[in-house]
Amino acid sequence: MSNTHEANIIRVGPILPHPNADKLELTMVSGYQVVIGKGSFVEGDLAIYIQPDSVVPQTEPFKFIWQKHVGIDGVVPTKRRRVTVKRLRKEYSEGLLMPVTDFNSGAHFDGEWLSKITEDGRPYVCFRNTVGGITSIPVGSDVSSLLGIEHYVPEFDLEETGSVIVNLPHRKYPKTLRGWFYFLLRKLGLRNAGGRSYVQEVSFNFPVYDVNALKNAKRERFAECGETVFVTEKIHGSNARYVFIPDSKKENPLNPNGKFYVGSHEQWKMDGPNVWWNAARQHPEIEEWCITHPGLVLYGEVGPTQKGFRYGCKEGETFFYAFDVFDPERNQWYWPGDLGFVLNVPGVYVGAYNSEMVKALAEGRSLVPGAENIREGVVVSSHERRLKLKVVSNAYLEKESR
């Protein structure tokens, strides 16, 4: 599974009036609603759509986003160049829509966009650079690399989570000389400086777990009002994976002589005071299940590691909610509950897929018992094939944009 994040050339679709503003209008782009200025586009115009959680470069076309946040060193922080979800006169605007002509120069290339052309019946955009070269770019193409647009990654690096986090740190810089020493080492790329991440080298390789957004899915989609789906709550924490590898020298593969491995999204962790091992210690059923099911990888969300998303945990407590199991020998995926695991993400709905209903299910309060936070969103899974797509709630996105 992969997670795509693109900035695509699109043809503007139908434009609707904004119900609460005379100078604004609405349009839809691949399931996203965007608020635009009245008269800024007409249906059929060519534009570049930039998804929420994109980071734009500090270039002239995006000056209206970053110009008020230039630091004394002339640099604008990443978070101040982030495209977010906003509510404009009570209507959500999910992302940014800009005419292709806004990028005539000053981006990561220098030249001009020409009129749209057609080759073999396919719509194209034509770009001429300053040395006379002409490039044809098909409508629908991802031009994020051309424009220098990147996916937003929070400044707080969850791979460095040393222990259970009550809230994200308010202090951005260390207070001690030793803290500054390790801070600078990490800034130079030495991610494990100070031993905080406890990275463990392993000989095996299991999938890194990512789920694409339903709105970004292009090839594989759910069948509207027909396909049976299983909708679960999307927990906001840190990705975790657990597996027990038996000793291969033993004749009986179910012999408990072996090793229990604990991992984050991309790393395997040595035993220590980090949130992944803390969760395993506080919830012994994780290791017990892994020993009973040797070789199967248990994936889930661990925390709390995100501000405002404690899911009922008190000070010093952790949570773990499983959402998938991978069997590397058979290359098969399973729902943890079908294999006897009980600490699973809450189920929200089972039945025929309906896009509008799923969008509504993404909103509301968390279904975790004792939780007081909002729902980050939902994950939609097919019962008939291996397909998982996520829907993030607008309430969460709006909260993150503040």
pLDDT tens-digit profile of 290-299?
999 999 999 9
Q: Please give the Cα distance from 348 to 393 (Å, whole number).
A: 14
pLDDT of residue 141: 85
pLDDT tens readout for residues 60-113: 889 999 999 988 888 898 888 999 888 898 888 989 999 988 876 544 455 566
- Residue with the larger pLDDT of the pair 157 and 352: 352
Q: Please give the Cα distance from 283 to 277 (Å, whole number).
A: 10
My answer on whether 141 and 262 are in the same domain is: no
My answer on whether 145 and 234 are in the same domain is: no
Q: Please give the Cα distance from 14 to 21 (Å, whole number).
A: 18
Q: Which of 17-21, 166-170, 217-221, 358-362 has the lowest mean pLDDT?
A: 166-170
For residue 91, is it within any domain?
Answer: yes
My answer on whether 261 and 346 are in the same domain is: yes
Q: Please give the Cα distance from 264 to 272 (Å, whole number).
A: 13
3-class state of residue 232 by DSSP? strand
pLDDT of residue 247: 76
Q: Which of 23-27, 161-165, 182-186, 301-305 has the lowest mean pLDDT?
A: 161-165
pLDDT band at 164 (very low <50, low <70, confident <90, very high): very low
For residue 193, is it within any domain?
Answer: no
* Cis peptide leading into residue 304 (ω within 30°): yes
- Residue with the larger pLDDT of the pair 168 and 152: 152
pLDDT of residue 50: 94
Q: Is the pLDDT of residue 177 over 80?
A: no
| Burial of residue 166, with CB atoms counted within 10 A of its CB: 0-12 exposed, 13-18 middle, 19 or more buried | middle
For residue 16, is it within any domain?
Answer: yes
Q: What is the mean pLDDT of the chain?
A: 82
pTM above the 0.85 mark? no
User: Average pLDDT, stretch 232-248?
Assistant: 92
My answer on whether 236 and 338 are in the same domain is: yes
Six token digits for residue 278: 């803390």
pLDDT band at 312 (very low <50, low <70, confident <90, very high): very high
Q: Please give the Cα distance from 123 to 343 (Å, whole number).
A: 50
Q: Please give the Cα distance from 282 to 343 (Å, whole number).
A: 12
Which residue shows structure tokens 């679709």?
Answer: 13
For residue 180, is it within any domain?
Answer: no
Dihedral sign for Cα 224, 234, 156, 34, please. positive
pLDDT of residue 371: 95
Q: Which residue type sits at 301?
A: E
For residue 186, is it within any domain?
Answer: no
User: Average pLDDT, stretch 381-394?
Assistant: 88
User: Average pLDDT, stretch 35-63?
Assistant: 91
Strand partners for 379: 232, 390
- Residue with the larger pLDDT of the pair 271 and 191: 271
Say which CATH number the domain at 284 has: 3.30.470.30
Q: Please give the Cα distance from 60 to 74 (Å, whole number).
A: 14
For residue 82, is it within any domain?
Answer: yes
Q: Is the pLDDT of residue 301 over 90?
A: yes
Which structural domain range is residue 265 located in? Answer: 212-400
Q: What is the number of domains present in the chain?
A: 2
Q: Which residues lie below 8 Å from residue 312, measured CB to CB, with a gap of 6+? A: 319, 368, 369, 370, 371, 372
For residue 190, is it within any domain?
Answer: no
- Residue with the larger pLDDT of the pair 69 and 3: 69
> Cβ distance 373 to 396 under 8 Å?
no
My answer on whether 227 and 79 are in the same domain is: no
